[in-house]
Amino acid sequence: MSRARIPSLLLVAVILAAFTSCAVTPAAAQAQAKRAVIVVIDACRADYLQLGSMPAIEQLAREGVSYRRAWTGHLINNTPPGHLTIASGCLPKTTGVIGFGWRDPETGRRVQPTAWEPIVSGEYAELIARSGAPTIAGLLKKAEPDAVAAAVGSVKFYAVASLGADTADYIAFTPHQPKAPKGGGPRPQMPMLTLENLGVPGHLPPQTVLEAVQRLYATPRRDPDQVAMEMTLALVREAQPTLLMVNLPQTDGAGHQSGGITAPQVMRGAVQNADAQIGRLVALYKSLGLYDETVWVVTSDHGMIPDAHAIPRSVINVAMLQAGLKPQGKGGDQHLWLPDPSRAREVALAIAAQRVPDVHVAFYKVRQGNRYRFELAEPIGPKASPQAVAAYQFLADTYACPNGPDVSVFSAENTMWGSKPKAPGSRGRHNTATWGTQHVPLIIAGPGVRTGVTSDYPARLCDIAPTVLSALGIAPRDMDGVVLADAVADARAWDSQAQANREAELAPLVEALEQQAQADLARLGLL
């Protein structure tokens, strides 16, 4: 080849490269989502989705990726930390939101920032802001100042406030009916339905949302999921948010009242109703021409287990007495804040020493400088596998922080603390840390997402935020979770490597929790 031809060949190569770049740009732009919708079916066990036909969820699964072994991946398994973890990509030890309440490490007093007054006053949002935890909405609005973020629900105001945190434009829920006075007397009347009490002041929804709720309240029959979706649809029509986060609360209530998986006919109706509401939202997005530019996430904040077996509260009370502490309240729970935190080791050791078959392990919190961790109290329970103990250690450390409990106790599957239930399996709970309360559904679909894939990766709730941000073309920052690269059609190499590294750590833990659950159920005759 002559030297004279080299410049012309280089010119051709440059032109071809430029043409190729221009040719792929529209396709790449088309593959990137412009909007995101996250729907949380409260307390939805993964196996609930097998109870009957769920056309809307099944369609999203066909169009996207389903995570067969998705799990909460943190403690405590209840609403506020679950929803905040979804919204922030951060574990409770990072956000400081451990549950509904905890002991204030400075005053030593019990606080409940997730109650009605702290939420509507903005105190709860300020607490989240002080933690420094990022949020999907915050990073979205930083990248796109004109973006609109909304969190919507109905009766679970604390779920919606956790999704909205300190960064959503709209944080909308229905008025809260105060409880009856502790000393007795009539229960206060339900507040008037006005725009002022339809969410967090400063983040109230448009007037059209109030009108939609008023119309629904005028009908004789309604349920919390229907109310939540009616509010959501009205807000979408009015504001077309860039980021929409929705809590559907009814599945949680149905599980608590029936035992959950022990009442399949009850749960089938509850979850199919949630599916129907999701179908309404999908239909609206399609009618508005927004569906194809939206990444969709359907998940839950935690699972649910039936009260099929009981551990006597005396296990905790005896341990506290042996440590020189007076038992408080009813005693008996997995998460213990002690009147004297310096006795945590003694209490944990006293629990472990009883070797109760349904108590697998106890940990106690220790501080090293500005960091916290949980130490194992030996011996481990007689029915716990060493692999499960490693999983429990991992979970305990997810809420190792100043607000976290002093002692963390792990018990058998389908087992509750307290008196023996009158009808075993007739009530449900989720504060324990078994596979039944950890295992949740997770489906992701939309632009740039692989289609028709079932993944075995043990995705956690903290992985949702970085994955959604990545789908929107925004780099996640300072989050505990990773981008679920196996859901992405054209994943970046570093995201795939980060997920592979995390899988090596998490997969054995999830496998151990599953195996321990099966062993527990077999031993208790509950399979």
Taking the model in full, what pTM does it have?
0.93
CA distance 90 to 123: 20
Task: Give per-residue pLDDT as tens, 399-454.
Answer: 999 999 999 999 999 998 887 877 888 999 998 899 999 999 999 999 999 999 99
- β-partners of residue 309 are 415
CB 445 within 8 A of CB 56: no
- Ramachandran angles phi, psi of 311, nearest 5°: -105, 125
Please tell me the predicted confidence (pLDDT) of residue 23: 33
pLDDT over 80 at 190, yes or no: no
DSSP state of 462: G
Please tell me the predicted confidence (pLDDT) of residue 331: 52
Please tell me the predicted confidence (pLDDT) of residue 17: 38
pLDDT over 60 at 27, yes or no: no
Strands (E), 42-115: 64-67, 102-103, 110-111
Residue burial 84-120, b: 16+ Cβ < 10 Å; e: rest: bbbbbbbbbbbbbbbbbbbbeeeeeeeeebbbbebbb
Specify the 3-state DSSP secondary structure of 518.
helix
* Other C-beta atoms lying within 10 Å of the C-beta of residue 373: 14
Q: Closest by alpha carbon to 303, among 46, 67, 39, 40?
A: 46
| C-alpha dihedral sign at 212, 156, 45, 425 | negative
What confidence tier does 396 reach under pLDDT thresholds 50, 70, 90?
A: very high
295 sits in which H/E element: strand 294-299
CA distance 67 to 49: 13
pLDDT over 60 at 25, yes or no: no
How confident is the model over 126-146, as a mean pLDDT?
97
CA distance 116 to 338: 26
Please tell me the predicted confidence (pLDDT) of residue 329: 63
pLDDT over 80 at 221, yes or no: yes
pLDDT over 70 at 365, yes or no: yes
What confidence tier does 332 reach under pLDDT thresholds 50, 70, 90?
A: low
- Ramachandran angles phi, psi of 494, nearest 5°: -70, -30
CB 33 within 8 A of CB 448: yes
CA-only gyration radius of the chain, Å: 24
Mean of the per-residue pLDDT values of the chain: 92
Please tell me the predicted confidence (pLDDT) of residue 181: 72
Could you tell me the domains of the chain? 34-305+436-505 (3.40.720.10), 309-420 (no CATH)
Please tell me the predicted confidence (pLDDT) of residue 244: 98
pLDDT over 80 at 245, yes or no: yes
Please tell me the predicted confidence (pLDDT) of residue 31: 75
pLDDT over 90 at 10, yes or no: no
Please tell me the predicted confidence (pLDDT) of residue 41: 98
8 class by beta-carbon count within 10 Å (0-12 exposed, 13-18 middle, 19+ buried):
exposed
What confidence tier does 333 reach under pLDDT thresholds 50, 70, 90?
A: confident
Please tell me the predicted confidence (pLDDT) of residue 219: 87
CA distance 440 to 496: 23
Q: Among 74-78, 147-151, 375-379, 417-421, which is the least confidently predicted range?
A: 417-421
35 sits in which H/E element: strand 35-41
Please tell me the predicted confidence (pLDDT) of residue 422: 78
pLDDT over 60 at 226, yes or no: yes
| C-alpha dihedral sign at 162, 166, 171, 175 | positive
pLDDT over 50 at 382, yes or no: yes
For 476, half-sphere exposure in the C-beta direction (CA atoms, 13 angstrom radius) is: 25
DSSP state of 23: H
